[in-house]
Amino acid sequence: MIKVGSNKILVEEVVDKEPTAIQLPDNLKKCKYKIVSVGSKRTSFDEYPNLNNGDVVQIIPNSGHEVSVIGKKYKVINYDDVLIAEENV
């Protein structure tokens, strides 16, 4: 299991194969990611939604830092970088 620091989220890119409830413009379709790990929230960020592993999020384009773990590419983003979230059901 990969853990991230406080106020950070580890995500991996999602490739859309079927339509979802949220329709996005073409320039944002490459900004859709699945949450792999969620760090603890700071107390001053209580207004942010609860995000869990497996949720799919849309993030601000060009945000976060790319990392590679055991040959797999991920991004580390801040809670502030999340625009919308679809709960994993």
pTM of model > 0.85: no
The pLDDT value given to residue 50? 80
Neighbours of 23 (CB within 10 A): 7
Whether residue 21 is contained in a domain is answered as yes
The DSSP bridge pattern shows strands 8-13 and 65-69 to be unpaired
CATH of the domain at 37: 2.30.33.40
Tell me the per-residue pLDDT of 78-87, one tens digit each, with 9 for 90 and over. Answer: 988 998 888 7
Amino acid letter, residue 65? H
Whether residue 81 is contained in a domain is answered as yes
Domain count, the chain: 1
Whether residue 2 is contained in a domain is answered as no
Task: Quote the domain boundaries for residue 27.
Answer: 8-86
Whether residue 3 is contained in a domain is answered as no
DSSP 21: S
Close Cβ partners of 79 (under 8 Å, ≥ 6 residues apart)? 7, 9, 41, 45, 48, 51
Token code pair at residue 78: 């801040």
Higher pLDDT, 36 or 5: 36
The three-class DSSP label of residue 44 is: helix
Q: Which of 72, 73, 34 is nearest to 52 (CA)?
A: 34
Tell me the per-residue pLDDT of 45-76, one tens digit each, with 9 for 90 and over. Answer: 556 678 889 999 989 988 999 999 889 999 99
